[in-house]
Amino acid sequence: MGDEIIQIDDKHDKHDIDNEIVSHNPRDPHNAHNGKEISHVSLSPNGKYIVTYSKDDKSFEGWIVKDSKLILDPQTNIYKSKEYLIYLHAITVNDKKIVCYTGYTNDFIMHVFQMSNGHRQIKLNPPSQNLFYPPIYFKKSGNLVIFDENNNSISVYSTHDKMNDELVLMSFYKLSNYVKEVIIDENNNIWATSSSCLFHFDLETLQLKFSYSLGFAEPYINGTMTVISKENSIVVKQLDNIAIFSKGSSYFPIRNIQIEGYNIKVELLSCEMQNNDYLLVFDIPISNKNQNINLYCITDINKQPVDASMIFNENESKNKFILYEYNTESKEAFGLVDGKFSYKKLDLNWHEFFESHSEEDDYVCWNNYLGQTFEVDCYNNDNDTYLFPDMENIRSLFSKEHKNITEINFNNNQTYKWKIDPEKGKFSVYTDEEKEMDSSDGFKRRDLKRWKILNNNTLAILYYKRVVILEYDHNDKEIKCLYNFLKDKGSLNIKDFSGPILPIGKCPSKSLLKNILKDNIYLEKYGPTLLPCLIKSSESYFTCEIDPIYNKITKLVKENPERNLKFLSIITLSMDDLYEKYSDYVTKFNSEMFMVLDPSNNSIENYGHSHFSTFSKEIDITKINYSKIFRFFQYLFSLFSNAFRHLIGSKAIQYITLVVPYMNFSCYPLEYSWWKELFYPRPNVFVNTCKKEFYTNWNGEAIINFKWKTFGRIYYFIIWLLFMIFLVCFIIASYPTNSLNEEIQIKLYKTSVAFGFYHLIFELRQFIWNPKKYFLSIWNLFDLSAYLSVTIASIYWIKYINIPYWALSLSCLLLNLKFLLFFRIFESFGVYFAIIFGVAKRVFSFLVVLAIIIASFAYSFFLLLHPQNLLDSLNAPNPNDPNNPWSLSNTYNQVDENGNILNETLIQVPSTNTNLFYSYPTSLLATYLFLTGNQNSISPWSPGSSPENTTLFILLVVFSFLVVIYLMNLFIGLLNMAIEKDNDRASFLTQKAEVIAEIEIFYLLPHQRRWKSWFPEVIYYTVEVEKARIYIKEAINKGEWNMKDWPEMKQKILKRLNIEDAIKNFNN
């Protein structure tokens, strides 16, 4: 780029940029930019250097503050680009005077240079290409951060080394799709936004800390986002919308503000002495419009904003100060007066200013995100205690260094004070005149340990097993108990209060239950912990609150799904408990949320998506070692992927996007112990609810498909491959052949042992994790028998160089059956496996009854038909024993040459099969053979007049009718009924869910289960319009589409799909 340098003094060494400022040839600040008006102002992150730009003069100037005066930097000259800059989009500068700006000439440009006498041009190494107005900013360290929206990447260029006319890429981060903008703050946090959410990542670990709903989804303009995080507050600004959050404790914003203006800027001001945070909001006006500068109190919703423009314009002069930048640390304001750069040093207390200019009886609340109307006293201590708990002071109660004070003044200069009598366990409230307002007797004095006043003037008291929070109610003039947490087992410790909100015990307070139904913020904060307590409770007083909470949540979602869909996570996180105790709620939930359109995109679109394509909008960040080799392979991958898509093509189809209503169904807690999770993993709701009821519609199927696509199939085929090596080694080693010598067989068996132990380790982990569940799973029994038998057989052969054939036979059989079970994951095979094992479970009790009946008849036959000599009947003929094998054997008469029968008789030597009733086990076998139609075991006996023979044939008649005819035909009928119940996709999906659950619990590492790209909060899926129409019509015919459950959503879906006949059927 060619540049024109308007040089004032070129004697200064251009490389010596860190020397002290030398006042040579000082210029008149009023003549900056050749007297033209200033249009842009940029302040360095540390507030030490300022750069201005004039669009009329197309020039840049550098400024510093010296001796409380704003002067032009004497070490630099005016910088003017030779190219005609039509439009300057953004400008940023650091303390080293490096300037980066984006704009438009004949094309979109991004240039970097250093303000000095020589104005060195600085290159980026490697350069950023094809950027369209990328968000740019410098950090306090001087590093340049560039966000490339096209490639979803963040580039951080270093300025730490000695400047050599280039900035070297220090870090490169790749982000997933759906990212709008990314900011890296000074506290090593990454803030990324999607269409309507803010994601908070840790820069070092790249793990998600928390996600927030912005409360707005306005049209997005690149580079217009601001995120400020200080202490417990987060402020997000996007265009003219502002969202304020309580850090790490609430998904929804505690405040939403919409500002009128073009270019809005915000600054977060902290007043630690008063425990108040304020937000300075101002706009950069266009032309001669007035500037709006307002001051908001973040910590009090009842306060209206205060006009703060008087701070910067004390006198009503015509030349008004237009604020452009404010440094919160130095309290310096930079702006324009009549287009000229100006500076103000402020010396004021923001809290005192706000209080002195706010109206005393002003209870008009801000625009609240959740759209609630509060009474005048809605935010009293009760709300402060629960919504903004002072957890730090509560945790300090567990410190041994904590000192109890018996007389405590209220905060914020109130005229009341607490008095504590530890001897009597009494708490009192007094005025300054020592007048007692009220008192309260505590619990047992010996249990009283420590106490402390909290930020909202409530008193927190620690007992041996209890924490109590008391407040003085100004309206009722009495002390009330706001919070009471009792621990049943063991003593309280600081871990019980380690979270961002107050823990809830088995007996929640009445005020909390009341506020949860009344206040949506209460519901969002405490609903996920309160609802499980209510479900597990056995007291009707608490269980009766389940239905109101459920109805309130679904009502919020139905009223505004785009804003309130997150509330469904309160229900879904307790879905396993609801299924166990109140399964009707699961059925009701599935009916109401049968199909839910994506709130942010509920129109029909044409695209090359495949039917039932699942995805998430979660943001995932990966750090990449950027190099020339990486760029080369990235280019090749892009080239081949584009060519592949071009070759195969994609048929454009009409589809709609749906959202799975099971919020947080697959998520795992972000805080965990790596080693503890490795040996004893904590399950999520998905793992605990692998039940058929959750996979009867598309929502459950979408969850399965998403997990299978992201990680399930990869791990499953790896497990299958390892098993195939295990199987092949053992099969080859056990095959009877002379082509394998002993040495090769030993190697094969050793390999089988190694892989056998590998598989058995995972079986052992499953057993330790849940022994009962392990043995109740038929899949686990197959796995264990296959792995264990083969491993033992291999060890036995290695030790003795021989093994019984029956052991090899059983081991190979079990191993081959295990191989067959791997096909159950595929639908064409899996439906039959689901029928086989599902039917077996349903008729198992009938089979037990049948087995007992058969065993009973077998024992009767044994008693009736056993030989007298049980031990050696084959070698001891006894003609007096009709059941002796010799008596039952076939006899043959000898015949002479003339055909005459001789007196000598030949007896066939009997065998063990001659009389199978010689023992009870063989009697069972004989009875089973008779059941299958083989009558050889009964044929030696013929009808006779003896009581034994009569009894025998009576038993045979009863057995034939009862078991062979009646029970067996009944069994066939039961099988048909059971097959009908399991012959559906839900049974197969449940089976597939169990496989995926086993993979994610026992094969994924703990940190992998925290990857939001694999375990998102929300899952979306697209379906073809035509197939959706067929699916809905089938649901209508089956009675699964209930129009009374969320009729607005169902009506919208029917209209989107243009199913007029279905709508008419509903109306009729």
Confidence (pLDDT) at 369:
36
Helix (H, G, I), strand (E, B) or coil at 356: helix
Q: CB–CB of 163/15 below 8 Å?
A: yes
Range from 213-222, 258-267, 339-348, 979-988 that averages highest in pLDDT? 339-348
Q: Render pLDDT for 895-918 as a digit per residue (tens, 0 to 9).
A: 777 777 777 777 777 777 888 888
Confidence (pLDDT) at 181:
84
Report CA dihedral (578, 584, 588, 591) to the nearest 10 degrees. Answer: 110
Q: Give the pairing type, strands 136-138 and 79-81.
A: unpaired
Q: What is the rounded average pLDDT of the residues 256-270?
A: 84
Residue 1013 exposed, middle or buried by CB count within 10 Å (0-12, 13-18, 19+)? middle
What confidence category does residue 744 fall into, taking pLDDT thresholds of 50, 70 and 90? very high
What confidence category does residue 764 fall into, taking pLDDT thresholds of 50, 70 and 90? very high
Q: Which tokens is 183 given?
A: 């900011």
Same domain for 58 and 165, yes or no, is: yes
CATH number at residue 404: 2.40.128
Write down the H helix ranges in 1005-1046. Answer: 1025-1038
Same domain for 144 and 27, yes or no, is: yes
- pLDDT above 90: residue 797: yes
Q: Comparing 343-357, 763-777, 1016-1030, which segment has the lowest mean pLDDT?
A: 343-357
How many CB atoms neighbour CB 669 within 10 A? Answer: 10
Element (H, E) at 655: strand 653-659
Same domain for 155 and 292, yes or no, is: no
Q: Comparing 441-450, 744-753, 929-938, which segment has the lowest mean pLDDT?
A: 441-450
Q: Which tokens is 644 given?
A: 């592949």
String of DSSP letters for 526-567: HHHHHHHHHHH---HHHHTTHHHHHHHHHHHHHH-HHHHGGG
The pLDDT > 90 percentage for the chain reads 29
Q: What is the rounded average pLDDT of the residues 605-615?
A: 77
Last residue of a domain, one of 817, 851, 866: 817
In 221-303 the beta strands, taken as DSSP E runs, fall at 225-230, 233-238, 241-246, 255-258, 263-271, 276-284, 293-297
Residue 993 lies in a domain: no
- pLDDT above 70: residue 1061: no
Confidence (pLDDT) at 20:
36
Q: CB–CB of 564/629 below 8 Å?
A: no
Q: Which tokens is 97 given?
A: 């005077």
CA atoms within 13 A on the CB side of 819: 16
What confidence category does residue 15 fall into, taking pLDDT thresholds of 50, 70 and 90? very low
State how many domains the chain has: 4
Residue 905 exposed, middle or buried by CB count within 10 Å (0-12, 13-18, 19+)? exposed
Element (H, E) at 578: helix 575-581
Q: What is the rounded average pLDDT of the residues 109-125?
A: 86
Q: What is the rounded average pLDDT of the residues 395-402?
A: 81
Same domain for 349 and 408, yes or no, is: no
How many CB atoms neighbour CB 837 within 10 A? Answer: 19
Residue 553 lies in a domain: no
Residue 606 lies in a domain: no
- pLDDT above 50: residue 618: yes
Q: What is the rounded average pLDDT of the residues 415-429?
A: 75
List 114's β-bridge partners, or say none.
Answer: 98
Q: What is the rounded average pLDDT of the residues 515-523?
A: 85
Q: What is the rounded average pLDDT of the residues 196-208?
A: 86
Same domain for 460 and 356, yes or no, is: no
Q: Render pLDDT for 622-681 as a digit per residue (tens, 0 to 9).
A: 888 765 565 566 566 666 666 655 565 556 678 899 999 999 999 998 888 888 888 889
Confidence (pLDDT) at 567:
92
Same domain for 361 and 403, yes or no, is: no
**Residue tagged 């002069």 (tokens):** 317
* 145 phi/psi in degrees, rounded to 5: -115, 130
Confidence (pLDDT) at 104:
86
Last residue of a domain, one of 175, 203, 219: 175
Confidence (pLDDT) at 650:
54
Q: What is the rounded average pLDDT of the residues 601-617?
A: 79
- pLDDT above 60: residue 879: yes
Q: Which structural domain range is residue 730 located in?
A: 706-817
What confidence category does residue 9 fall into, taking pLDDT thresholds of 50, 70 and 90? very low
Same domain for 351 and 403, yes or no, is: no
Q: Comparing 609-618, 695-704, 867-876, 929-938, which segment has the lowest mean pLDDT?
A: 867-876
Q: Name the CA radius of gyration of the chain, rounded.
A: 40
pTM of structure: 0.81
Q: Tell whether the torsion through CA atoms of 344, 350, 356 and 357 is positive or negative.
A: positive
**Which residues 6+ apart lie within 8 Å of 895 measured at CB?**
901, 902
Q: Comparing 534-543, 657-666, 979-988, 1049-1058, which segment has the lowest mean pLDDT?
A: 979-988
Q: What is the rounded average pLDDT of the residues 752-763?
A: 95
How many CB atoms neighbour CB 872 within 10 A? Answer: 8
What is the rounded distance in angstroms from the CA atom of residue 915 to the CA atom of residue 743? 48
Amino acid making up residue 725: I
Last residue of a domain, one of 158, 175, 192: 175
Residue 367 lies in a domain: yes
* 355 phi/psi in degrees, rounded to 5: -65, -35
Range from 273-287, 464-478, 767-781 that averages highest in pLDDT? 767-781
Same domain for 9 and 155, yes or no, is: yes
The pLDDT > 70 percentage for the chain reads 85
What is the rounded distance in angstroms from the CA atom of residue 262 to the CA atom of residue 195? 20
Residue 902 lies in a domain: no
Residue 38 lies in a domain: yes
**Which residues 6+ apart lie within 8 Å of 383 measured at CB?**
515, 519
Q: CB–CB of 132/138 below 8 Å?
A: no
Q: Render pLDDT for 48-103 as a digit per residue (tens, 0 to 9).
A: 999 999 988 889 999 998 888 889 998 888 888 777 788 888 899 999 999 999 98
- Please indicate whether residue 406 or residue 387 has the higher confidence score (pLDDT): 387
Same domain for 449 and 337, yes or no, is: no
- pLDDT above 50: residue 22: no
Residue 396 lies in a domain: yes
Q: Render pLDDT for 215-257 as a digit per residue (tens, 0 to 9).
A: 776 555 666 788 998 877 899 988 888 888 887 777 888 788 8
What confidence category does residue 708 fall into, taking pLDDT thresholds of 50, 70 and 90? very high
What is the rounded distance in angstroms from the CA atom of residue 852 to the CA atom of residue 954? 19
* 37 phi/psi in degrees, rounded to 5: -70, 150
- pLDDT above 90: residue 403: no
Please give the distance of CA 739 from its chain centroid, rounded to a whole number: 55
Element (H, E) at 756: helix 742-769
Q: Which tokens is 68 given?
A: 């409380």
Q: What is the rounded average pLDDT of the residues 181-210?
A: 86
Confidence (pLDDT) at 595:
93
What confidence category does residue 729 fall into, taking pLDDT thresholds of 50, 70 and 90? very high
How many CB atoms neighbour CB 398 within 10 A? Answer: 17
Which pairs count as long-range contacts for 952-959, CB under 8 Å and 24+ apart, including other chains? 952/861, 952/864, 952/865, 955/857, 955/860, 955/861, 955/864, 956/930, 959/857, 959/927, 959/930
- pLDDT above 80: residue 187: yes
Same domain for 323 and 433, yes or no, is: no
- pLDDT above 70: residue 545: yes
Same domain for 166 and 35, yes or no, is: yes
Mean pLDDT of the chain: 82
Element (H, E) at 1002: helix 985-1002
- pLDDT above 90: residue 572: yes
String of DSSP letters for 809-866: HHHHHHHHHHHHHGGGGSHHHHHHHHHHHHHHHHTHHHHHHHHHHHHHHHHHHHHHH-
Q: Render pLDDT for 123-133 as a digit per residue (tens, 0 to 9).
A: 888 887 767 77
What is the rounded distance in angstroms from the CA atom of residue 34 to the CA atom of residue 30? 9
Range from 443-447, 535-539, 824-828, 942-946 that averages highest in pLDDT? 824-828
Q: CB–CB of 161/148 below 8 Å?
A: no
Same domain for 748 and 808, yes or no, is: yes
Residue 512 lies in a domain: no
Q: What is the rounded average pLDDT of the residues 747-773?
A: 94
Confidence (pLDDT) at 1067:
53
Q: CB–CB of 12/75 below 8 Å?
A: yes
* 727 phi/psi in degrees, rounded to 5: -65, -45
